[in-house]
Amino acid sequence: MSILTLSVILFVLLFLFLGSGLWVALSLLGIGMAAMALFSDAPLGLVMATTMWGHSNSWALAALPLFVWMGEILFRSKLSEDMFTGLSPWMNRLPGRLLHVNIFGCGIFAAVSGSSAATAATIGKLSIPELAKRGYPEKMVIGTLAGSATLGLLIPPSIILIVYGVATEQSIARLFVAGILPGILLVSLFVGYVAIWGLMNRDKLPDEGESVPLREKISRLRRLLPVMGLIAGVIGSIYAGIASPTDAAAVGVVLALVLAWFSGSLTRQTFVEGLMGAMVTSCMIAFILAGASFLTVAMGFTGIPRLLAEWIGSLELSTYTFLAALTVFFVVMGCFLDGISVVVLTTSVIMPMVQKMGIDPLWFGIFVVIVVEMSQITPPVGFNLFVLQSLTGRNILTVARAALPFFLLMVLALAIIVAVPGIVTFLPGAG
- Give the list of residues 6+ apart from residue 155 with CB closer than 8 angstroms, or none: 107, 110, 111, 179, 180, 183
Instruction: Decide: helix, strand or coil at residue 378.
Output: coil
> How does pLDDT run across 159-176, given as a tens digit for each residue?
788 888 888 888 888 888
Kindly report, residue by residue over 309-368, the tens digit of the pLDDT. 666 667 777 888 888 888 888 887 766 566 777 787 777 778 888 887 888 999 999 998
DSSP 267: -
Q: Is 325 helix (H, G, I), strand (E, B) or coil?
A: helix
- Helices 396-419 & 383-392, crossing angle to 10 degrees? 140
- Write the CA distances from 239 to 243, 256, 373, integer angstroms: 8, 20, 24
CA 398 to mean position of chain CA atoms: 23
The torsion angle over the Cα atoms of residues 309, 313, 315 and 317, rounded to 10 degrees, is: 110
Q: Which amino acid makes up residue 347? A: T
**Cα angle value 228/233/236 (rounded, 5°):** 100
Contact 251, 234 (CB under 8 A): yes
For residues 227 and 112, the answer to whether their CB atoms sit within 8 Å is yes
pLDDT digits (tens, 9 = 90+) for 111-138: 766 667 767 777 777 778 778 877 888 8
CA atoms within 13 A on the CB side of 265: 18
Q: What is the pLDDT of residue 413?
A: 93
Whether the model pTM is above 0.85: no
- Distance of alpha carbon 243 from alpha carbon 178, whole angstroms: 17
Q: What are the pLDDT digits (tens) for 62-75?
A: 777 887 787 778 77
Residue in 343, 201, 259 with CA at minimum distance from that of residue 79: 259
pLDDT for 2 beyond 70: no
What average pLDDT does the structure give for the chain? 79
Per-residue pLDDT tens over the stretch 137-163: 888 888 888 888 888 778 777 778 888
Calpha distance 279→287 (Å, rounded):
12
How big is the chain, counted in residues?
Answer: 431
